[in-house]
Amino acid sequence: LVSKDIIKIADFGLAREVNSSPPFTEYVSTRWYRAPEVLLQSYVYTSKVDMWAMGAIMAELLSLRPIFPGASEADEIYKICSVIGTPTEETWLEGLNLANTINYQFPQLPGVPLSSLMPSASEDAINLIERLCSWDPSSRPTAAEVLQHPFFQSCFYVPPSLRPKPSVARTPPPVGPRGSFEHQSVKRYPVSLANAKPFNSYVSPKSNAAFGSGVQ
């Protein structure tokens, strides 16, 4: 909800307090953005389910189509496997145990490179989505860690005090000798969103190295 310079976040119908204790509800978020651990009916999960949803939404914004458009819970897992590949004991042992508990067998699919689904996306964007849409929740970054990713290092924020104030009446710029408007210089005041250096662990998408420590 946007009103002038005020932005409010609404619709907390499925929201839960961060410090609340399990067991949690098994229905969380719209199916296409639901994390694998919730699809496998886990009653114990963390805020990392939101990071999975962020990765799915980010991929949809870059490709202009849903990345995991499952028609049911089983089809949703199939769609995920077809993109990022079937989980293994190395990538998500806990997920295999969850599947065994409900007598579910993952489809055996190799997955595809995300760059083939989003050819216009940058290397940093692909890397971030791969991190967010990891089978293992512990491999997904937190929101604070995401802000330190190279994808966001080129973003700038201009404080309200430095933004140009609109005038009530504007005088047309002078006309140049050739009859065209001469360009007026505009001062810019870029302020870096984050001063921290990017983590080297983002360089290789296949690396299992943990995200940098000491994030505030």
97-134 residue pLDDT tens: 999 999 999 999 999 999 999 999 999 999 999 999 99
3-state secondary structure the chain: CEECCEECCCCCCCCCCCCCCCCCCCCCCCHHHCCHHHHCCCCCCCCHHHHHHHHHHHHHHHHCCCCCCCCCHHHHHHHHHHHHCCCCHHHHHHHHHHHHHCCCCCCCCCCCCHHHHCCCCCHHHHHHHHHHCCCCHHHCCCHHHHCCCHHHCCCECCCHHHCCCCCCCCCCCCECCCCCECCCCCCCCCCECCCCCCCHHHCCCCCCCCCCCCCC
- CA 207/CA 131 separation, integer angstroms: 10
- Residue 8's pLDDT band, with cuts at 50, 70 and 90, is confident
- CA 1/CA 188 separation, integer angstroms: 28
Tokens of 26: 């098994």
Whether pTM > 0.85 for this model: the answer is no
| Mean pLDDT over each residue of the chain, to the nearest integer | 78
pLDDT for the residue numbered 135: 97
> What's the half-sphere exposure (Cβ side, CA atoms, 13 Å) at 149?
26
Lowest-confidence pick of 57-71, 120-134, 176-190: 176-190
pLDDT for the residue numbered 29: 64
